[in-house]
Amino acid sequence: MQTNNGTSANDILSLDNPAFCTYVICCCLLILKMMGLVLLTIFHRQTNKQVGISEEDARFGMEVALHPNVERTRRAFLNDLENIPAFLFLSFAYLWTRPISTLVHVVYYAFLVARALHSFVYAVYVVPQPARAICFAIGFIINGYLAAHTAIYVFIVGYLKK
């Protein structure tokens, strides 16, 4: 399958394409990071008076209550759910715009680092604001850039060049 700019899907979605490799690495690491937050939530539930989330957990001797460490970790995970899926889609679509390879690496790894630091300063080692807000803003701006760049590229290549 050829794209409008002469690039085939095989060229873009190839391990010979450094941008695609960076995409795959970042996606895998982001998902592993999210899985780590799930495990951290379980750890906090178990170590903080067996904190459960629903009435049926009481049958297993868990106290159904809110605990600050559990809730903080859950909020970090929910924040990931609000940001990482968008990145997974936008960063994949961005590959089709034939971006500068160096820029792909910088943008993708910056998002990865920003999200990892966000989770760290939110759920692992609590750092006062604006640390978390800065990490969130970096990821948010990157998602905005990826969305705008891809939409403009598709509009120009898809509509105006026809």
**C-alpha angle 51-52-53 in degrees, rounded to nearest 5:** 130
Helix (H) or strand (E) holding 52: strand 51-52
| CATH code that applies to domain 9-160 | 1.20.120.550
Q: Which residues, including other chains, have CB under 8 Å from residue 63's CB and lie 6 or more apart?
A: 49, 50, 51, 52
Confidence (pLDDT) at 1: 43
For the stretch 74-117, pLDDT in tens is 999 999 999 999 999 999 999 999 999 999 999 999 999 999 99
Quote the DSSP letter at residue 16. T
Confidence of residue 53 (pLDDT cuts 50, 70, 90): low
Residue 161 has pLDDT above 70, yes or no: yes
Average pLDDT over residues 117-146: 96
Residue 2 has pLDDT above 50, yes or no: no
Confidence (pLDDT) at 6: 56
Which carries the bigger pLDDT value, residue 51 or residue 149? 149
Closest among 130, 129, 96, 88 to 112, alpha carbons compared:
88
Confidence (pLDDT) at 54: 66
Confidence of residue 60 (pLDDT cuts 50, 70, 90): low
Confidence (pLDDT) at 45: 80
How much is the pTM?
A: 0.88
Confidence (pLDDT) at 59: 65
Provide the angle, in degrees to the nearest 10, between the axes of the packed helices 101-119 and 18-47.
0
Pairing of strands 51-52, 63-64: parallel
Confidence (pLDDT) at 8: 82
